[in-house]
Structure 1
């Protein structure tokens, strides 16, 4: 139930949704003074959220710094969070990546460099799946094709959110006796914007992995007239990601997940 409620609630409070609601209600009540103000406020907010300089500066400040490959020690296990493939796309004879493929490709690179001995992929079905193959299974097929030994992959196929990623991964590792033998020598791999919440969830379960953020949206801020004045659709997506993540952090803290 929490999964479905969170999906609906996160949609309602997204910046673009708020702007559209303001414009729609204001348009219906345009003859009234407050309706005109609502339309004007919606336009101003839309310009604010579509400003690429502001959105990039905020995302850059939020995301943790990347870590160099050669500075990492060898880890017994890398934990890769899914959420980066289009699980509804058919046919299922390939892996369809969305933004965020770094979670898989960088994990493969670390594995081939000898930095990861094994890889745990955690992630089940999304909202209203159209095919019985989970995202973890789809990602595993790609990794095997890219050269990862199938015996070096561990799959967790039930998780639907970050909290379940952590809980179910901890359960699998505990059942395998892996935590005792590896002394918690783990590396958590997920998108940079998502890392604070993911790390907090894993720590709540008693796992204390090192982190390897990937899939960066922000870049070093560089002020230009174009970035400051020209509206950018990508900025709305950046705000969508940030607000959803912030709401997730607050919600998880309120319900005791972190």
Structure 2
């Protein structure tokens, strides 16, 4: 039930839902027409404004860490959610917007910042009702992708069962605890030393991810990737004031993440 709600609740809070709601009221309820139309138009202008959308991401995304400031880690954990699951044939991973997570992990590995790359999570082909993966073992195709990038097979770790951020952290913790000797991980008071593990995920998703890993009693550092926000000095132009459909899509994505953060916090998953 939690999986179903986590994937559907945000649809009722999306900008397009509220804009449509007030415009429909304006069409069908005469006495509320003017007020509803005004609200609908204001919401439309607000959520299609590129500058405001960018400002929200600047506030929420965890800033990038310069590569030279990244310490050395035993394991870099890469969260899935970076492929186009609806594409066929199902014989490969189709890179999505989040693939920067994987690319940055490869760079960190090549520069000696992380010794092993751990892919955590199912593929994105999941049934929303049952929460079960439609294509079992598809996550292992990430291993083929990494091997094609000249990553040693023994340095690739896979956790293929978790299906949301909370499970990513919980099952990753179990995997690391079970394989701590092989991975050269040192546990202190049932918690892995913070300098040994780096969580690599999208900048807008990193806050919730770190909270989940801390809740799983893993002391980790984070590395932001897949940035959506532009620097303010490069964004504030006349074009940033013109409404775009891309701005509304960005608002939908950040609202989804913020709702997820609040729900996780209320349910004790952070």
TM exceeding 0.5: yes
What's the CA shift string for 1:109-159, capped at 9, x where partnerless?
A: 11111111111111114432553343x323222111111111111111111
What pairs with 1:36-115 in structure 2 (closer than 5 Å)?
Answer: 36-115=34-113
Query: How far has the Cα of 1:179 moved from its partner?
Result: 9.5
Deviations 1:179-211 (A, max 9, x none): 994233000000001111100000011101111
Task: Quote the Cα distance in structure 1 between the aligned partners of 2:183 and 2:105.
Answer: 23
Determine the C-alpha separation between the residues in 2 that align with 1:63 and 1:181. 32
Between the aligned partners of 1:206 and 1:53, the Cα distance in structure 2 is 38
Q: Report if the CA contact (8 A) 2:74-2:183 is conserved.
A: no
Deviating above 4 A after TM superposition, structure 1's stretches of 4 or more consecutive aligned residues are: none
User: Which residue of the partner structure matches residue 152 of structure 1?
Assistant: 155
| Uncovered stretches (5+) of structure 2, i.e. residues with no partner | 128-132, 187-191
How many residues in Structure 1 have an aligned counterpart in Structure 2? 254
1:226 aligns with 2:239: yes
Q: Deviations over 1:42-101 (max 9, x none)?
A: 122011100001111121122121111122222100000010101232223332111111
Cα distance in 2 between the residues matched to 1:23 and 1:139: 44
Between the aligned partners of 1:20 and 1:99, the Cα distance in structure 2 is 27
Counterpart CA distance in 1 for 2:162 and 2:25 is 38
Q: Aligned pair 1:138/2:130, yes or no?
A: no
Q: SS at the partner of 1:84? A: coil
TM-score (norm: length of structure 1): 0.92
Question: Which of 246, 251, 255 is equivalent to 2:263?
Answer: 251
1: distance between equivalents of 2:156 and 2:86? Answer: 23
Residue number in structure 1 paired with 2:170: 167
TM-score between the two structures when normalised by the length of structure 2: 0.89
Partner Cα distance (1:48, 1:77) in 2: 42
User: 1:230-245 alignment to 2 at 5 Å?
Assistant: 230-245=242-257
- The answer to whether structure 1 residue 217 and structure 2 residue 217 are counterparts is no
Conserved? CA contact 1:163–1:257, under 8 Å: yes
Indicate the SS of the match to 2:112. coil
Q: CA RMSD in A?
A: 1.7
When structure 1 is superposed on structure 2, of 94-103 and 176-185 the one drifting more is 176-185
CA contact (8 A) 2:25 2:32 kept: no
Distance in structure 1 (CA, Å) of the matches to 2:137 and 2:24: 40
Is 1:201 matched with 2:212? yes
Residue 70 to residue 47, structure 1, CA distance change in 2 (3 Å): same
